[in-house]
């Protein structure tokens, strides 16, 4: 019985270590991707300043339109629910 219990504890410890290692590798990979993304953004801003500016303006306009549409839907649903 003790031998089986010891093996189970060892297996449990190995599984826990594997989980911690997987999480650690995942975090390092994510951080590396973030660093690379920042490097690419810096490079794009240096090489294509007008393109970056234009893309930002278009993204802001799209987000504004989406926010307006969502707000309209919310107001419409609120009015419908109040009428019921």
**Domain edges within the chain:** 1-47, 51-84
- The Cα–Cα gap between 40 and 55 comes to 15
pLDDT in tens, 15-42: 999 999 999 999 999 999 999 989 988 8
Q: Is the model's pLDDT at 81 over the cut of 80?
A: no
Q: Is the model's pLDDT at 82 over the cut of 60?
A: yes
């Amino acid at each position: 019985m003790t031998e089986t219990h010891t093996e189970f504890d060892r297996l449990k410890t190995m599984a826990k270590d594997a989980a911690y290692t997987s999480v650690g590798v995942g975090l390092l990979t994510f951080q590396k991707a973030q660093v690379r993304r920042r490097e690419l953004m810096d490079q794009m801003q240096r090489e294509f300043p007008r393109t970056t500016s234009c893309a930002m303006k278009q993204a802001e306009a799209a987000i504004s339109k989406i926010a307006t549409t969502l707000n309209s839907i919310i107001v419409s649903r609120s009015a419908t629910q109040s009428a019921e």
